[in-house]
Amino acid sequence: MNGGAALLWLACGLGVAAVGVLRFAWSLPHRSAAWNSAGWAALAACVLCGGWSAGAWGVSVAALCTMAAAFAVLAVAGWRAPPGKATGSNRRMGMLPEPGEPHIGRRLVTFLLVMPGGLLAALAIALAVRGSGLALGWGEANANVGGLFAVPLAWGVLCTILLMQARRGQAITLLVCGVAGAPFIVGGMGA
């Protein structure tokens, strides 16, 4: 077995061990910083060893091993779970109006702000990432790919933030994104 393969096995082993340690730590009646840290440290070591063994490929394989181990532990927990009748949450989400709540118009505005508005803001951020990358000497390929990755990441984060905010906060968030992208959209930066 060569060094890379041994490291990959070690990464997978650390991932499985991390699941076991965290399972133990989170089952304790009181929070144990030591056991929690040990579990998270094993996870971090798993990622590092995976990376050392074969870069992103090694990290991916080690992550799959770790998740598979967690699923196995979870399956045992589900199998052993006794029947119960605890009442689930009935907390309101406010997604659909309940009887007597004619708020469809407000929800439509929220949709427009989050989806088309969020996309435009994310594109502004992407242009800013690309332009800033070029200014920092990333090179054209890195800057363009930075922009490609920035759109879904920024839009996903914006989606969450905008839906958690009141209308005024939403306006400020979108404005900040617009200002960040303005030098690259209307100015000549990033060319």
Residues 14-43 that bind another protein (CB under 8 A): 22-23, 26-27
Q: 93 φ, ψ to 5°?
A: -100, -25
> Helix crossing, 140-164 with 116-135: angle to 10°?
140
Q: Compute the least distance from the CB of residue 52 to another protein, in Å.
A: 12
For CA atoms 101, 102, 103, 104, the dihedral sign is positive
Judged by CB under 8 A, the residue of 108, 136, 140, 172 near another protein is 140
Q: How many residues touch another protein (CB under 8 A)?
A: 76
Question: Token pair for residue 163?
Answer: 């839906």
- Identify which of residues 160 and 179 has a Cβ nearer to another protein in the complex: 160
> Closest distance between another protein and the C-beta of residue 119, in Å?
8
* 157 lies in the site for another protein, by CB under 8 A: yes
Q: Which of 191, 177, 92 has its CA nearest to residue 140?
A: 191
70 binds another protein (CB under 8 A): yes
Q: What sign has the CA pseudo-torsion 118, 124, 127, 129?
A: negative
What's the closest the beta carbon of residue 100 comes to another protein, in angstroms?
11
